[in-house]
Chain A
C-alpha cells in the first residue's frame, strides 16, 4: 500500500513516515502543495494524507486539484485548527475523513485502515474468503480459525491483492504500490516475496489463494463468502 503524505512540518512528516513504514506502508512525502500535486498526478497512490495548512498551495486547493485531475484515491485530511468549518470544507473539497492535530498514531492508522478497506469495496472490517478470514481492524489473518503471522509489509501486500480479488495485478503495479519512489526495482524481489506469502498462507498447496497469470502478473483467487 503506497501512501502520499503531505505535511510541511519536517519533524512531523519524518516521524509519521517512519511510523507508517514500520506499519508496512510505502510512503512518499511532500513538503508543500505544489510537490503534492505533482506526485499525485505522476504516481498511482492508494491513499493520501494531506495537511490543510501548507505553503505555496494550501491543502484545500491541493485536494480539489487532485480530484479535478480524476484521482479517486481516498484522502485523509489533517487539520491543526480543529474548527468544524475547516473539517467540513476539507471533506467538501474531496477529503474522505479527517484527523485533528495533535493526533495519536493509533487513530491515524485506524482511519487509514478503514479508508483503504472502503476503497477496496469492503464495507465491514471483517473480510471472509471461505476458510480465510481477515480482520482489518486487528490486522489479523486466520485460515480455518488459525492465526497466521505476517510482517506488516507482508500483510499490506496481501491486502493489496485482496482488495483487487479476481483481477490480475502486474509485477510493476505491485512494485509501485508496495515500495516508495526511492526503491530499486527488481522483479525478482516480487517473485520471492509472493513465494513467501504463498508458503505462509497455504503450506500444503490445498487452497491456492494467489495464482500466477503467465506474462501478466498475479491474482488473488478466493471469492468473498459474505460480501457485506
Chain B
C-alpha cells in the first residue's frame, strides 16, 4: 500500500491544482458544498426521526392513560369503554393496537383493531415485562411495530391487587412514509440551495477577481505601450503591487535613460582621442607620448562613464539601511596598506548607529573616492567623522594638506562632469561621487578643515 506523507500530498496538490484562481476556489467549493450539505441533511433526517419517535411515545402514553381511565373489572373480566380511546383502536388492522394482559402474557382484553394479530411472547415481552409502575418504549423492527408497555397493579372490587400489563403497538409504516416524504423535501431543498450557492459563488468570484483581470489587462497594455504607468484605483490589496510595479518601471526607465545617455556621451567623447590617434598612425614617426596621452584620456572617459552608469542610485523599493562604520573600517585597513609608505595617520570617529538608505557599492564608491583624495592630498593625517541627526547623516572627510581655495571649490566639483572637458591626469573620482550623491538627493560641500587642509562634508537625507 502506498504511504502518503504530507510532502506527497502537497506535491500532488501542486501538480493537480488548477492554474486559475477562480477554478481553484470553485473546485474547493464544489467539493466543500456537497460535503457540508450532506452532513446537514443527515443531521436533519436524524433529528426528524428522533422527534417522530418522541411523538409516537407520547401518543402511546396518552392511549395508555385513556385505556386506564375507562377500564372496568367485572365478572366477565376487563371491560373498556371506547368513548375516550382513539377510533383507530376500534378499526381492524388500523395500525394501532392495544392489549391488556397478565405479566405472563395471558391476554385479558384486546382492542378490536388487533383481532387479526397473533400475540405471542415476542410481541408482549411476557418473559420480561416492565417493573410495576414502570414504562418501556421500544421497537420490534422485524414486524415493523413500536411498542409501549406499562405494568400497574389494579385493585379489584374484592380488594385484590391484580398486576396488569398494558401494551400499545403502533405500526412503523406511517412513520416511514412521513420520513420518506420529509427526506424528499429535504433533498429538494438542499439541492436547490446547493445550486443557488454555486451560482452565487461563480458570481462572487467573477466580481471579486475582476480587479485581478483588470490588472492583467493593464499590465498587458503597459507591455504593448498603450499606457505608461498603472492607474492608482485598485482595491487596497492590489494597490501596493501596482505602486511597486510603477516604481520598478520608473526605475527601469531612469536606468535605461542613464545607460543611453552614458553610451551617447561615451561614443561622442571617444571620437576626439580616436581622431587624434588616427592622425598619429598616419604621421611619419611614432609619437609615443601622444599615443599614451590619448589612451589615458580614453581610459579615463570610459572609467567615468561606466562608473556613473553602474552606480545603483536611489529610489529602490525597500532599500535597506547600510551601516557606515563597518565600511569605513574596512576602507581604512585598505588605505593603511595602499599608503603604507606615506605613513598616513587615519582617524575614524563614527557612531556605530550611523546608517543611510543606499546601495552598498555606491557608499563604497563615494567614500572610497573622498578618502583616497584625502590620503593623496594630506601631509600626514586624514580624519573621517560621521554623525546622525534626525534629518541628516553627516559624513566628513578632512585632511591636513594644502586645502582648496574658496574660489576653486565649486569648479573642482563640476570638473569632469562634462564628458569632453577632461584634462589628462585629472581624477574622475569626485565627479563620480558627486553624480552618485545627486541621485540620492545628498549634498557635498567643500570647506576648510581644523587639521589645516580641505574638508569634504556629505549631507545625506535621513
Which residues of A line the B interface, CB within 8 A?
A: 82-85, 87-88, 91-92, 95-98, 102, 104, 114, 118, 123-125
A123 to B341, CA, bound (A): 7
Assess A84 versus B365: contact at CB under 8 Å? Given A91-B337, A92-B334, A125-B341.
yes
Q: Are B341 and A114 in contact (CB under 8 A)?
A: yes
A92 to B335, CA, bound (A): 11
Q: Are B367 and A84 in contact (CB under 8 A)?
A: yes
User: Smallest CB–CB gap between A76 and chain B, Å?
Assistant: 11
Q: Could you show 10 A-B contacts with beta carbons less than 8 Å apart? A: A82-B307, A84-B368, A85-B364, A85-B365, A85-B368, A91-B338, A95-B337, A97-B337, A102-B299, A118-B341
A152 to B220, CA, bound (A): 69
Assess A88 versus B331: contact at CB under 8 Å? Given A83-B361, A114-B341.
yes
Assess A87 versus B334: contact at CB under 8 Å? Given A82-B303, A123-B341.
yes
Q: Are A96 and B337 in contact (CB under 8 A)?
A: yes
Assess A83 versus B365: contact at CB under 8 Å? Given A88-B331, A118-B340.
yes
Assess A92 versus B330: contact at CB under 8 Å? Given A83-B307, A85-B364.
yes
In residues 361-376 of chain B, which contact A (Cβ within 8 Å)? 361, 364-365, 367-369, 372
A125 to B292, CA, bound (A): 27
A98 to B333, CA, bound (A): 13
By a CB distance below 8 angstroms, the chain B residues around A102 are 295, 299
B310 within 8 A of partner (CB): yes
Which residues of B line the A interface, CB within 8 A?
A: 292, 295, 299, 303, 307, 310, 330-331, 333-334, 337-338, 340-341, 360-361, 364-365, 367-369, 372
A96 to B338, CA, bound (A): 7
By a CB distance below 8 angstroms, the chain A residues around B310 are 83
Pairs of residues from A and B, 9 with the lowest C-beta to C-beta distance, nearest first: A84-B368, A85-B364, A91-B334, A84-B364, A88-B334, A85-B361, A84-B365, A88-B330, A96-B337
A114 to B334, CA, bound (A): 16
**Residue of B whose beta carbon sits closest to that of A92:** B330
By a CB distance below 8 angstroms, the chain A residues around B292 are 104
Q: Are B368 and A88 in contact (CB under 8 A)?
A: yes
By a CB distance below 8 angstroms, the chain B residues around A95 are 337
By a CB distance below 8 angstroms, the chain B residues around A98 are 338
Q: Are A91 and B299 in contact (CB under 8 A)?
A: no
Q: Are B365 and A91 in contact (CB under 8 A)?
A: no
User: Smallest CB–CB gap between A79 and chain B, Å?
Assistant: 12
A124 to B360, CA, bound (A): 36
A48 to B41, CA, bound (A): 85
A92 to B303, CA, bound (A): 23
By a CB distance below 8 angstroms, the chain A residues around B372 are 84
By a CB distance below 8 angstroms, the chain B residues around A124 are 341
By a CB distance below 8 angstroms, the chain A residues around B368 are 84-85, 87-88
User: Smallest CB–CB gap between A94 and chain B, Å?
Assistant: 10
Kindly list 16 other residue pairs between chains A and B, CB separation below 8 angstroms, not including A84-B331, A85-B368, A123-B341. A83-B365, A84-B364, A84-B367, A84-B368, A85-B360, A88-B330, A88-B364, A88-B368, A91-B333, A91-B337, A92-B333, A95-B337, A97-B338, A98-B338, A102-B295, A114-B340
By a CB distance below 8 angstroms, the chain A residues around B367 are 84
User: Smallest CB–CB gap between A35 and chain B, Å?
Assistant: 26
A84 to B365, CA, bound (A): 5
A97 to B336, CA, bound (A): 10
By a CB distance below 8 angstroms, the chain A residues around B361 are 83, 85
**Residue of B whose beta carbon sits closest to that of A114:** B341
A91 to B295, CA, bound (A): 28
By a CB distance below 8 angstroms, the chain B residues around A92 are 330, 333-334
A141 to B122, CA, bound (A): 134
**Residue of B whose beta carbon sits closest to that of A103:** B299
A84 to B292, CA, bound (A): 25
A82 to B334, CA, bound (A): 14
**Residue of A whose beta carbon sits closest to that of B332:** A88
A82 to B365, CA, bound (A): 10
User: Smallest CB–CB gap between B439 and chain A, Å?
Assistant: 16
User: Smallest CB–CB gap between B448 and chain A, Å?
Assistant: 26
Q: Are B341 and A83 in contact (CB under 8 A)?
A: no
A83 to B331, CA, bound (A): 13
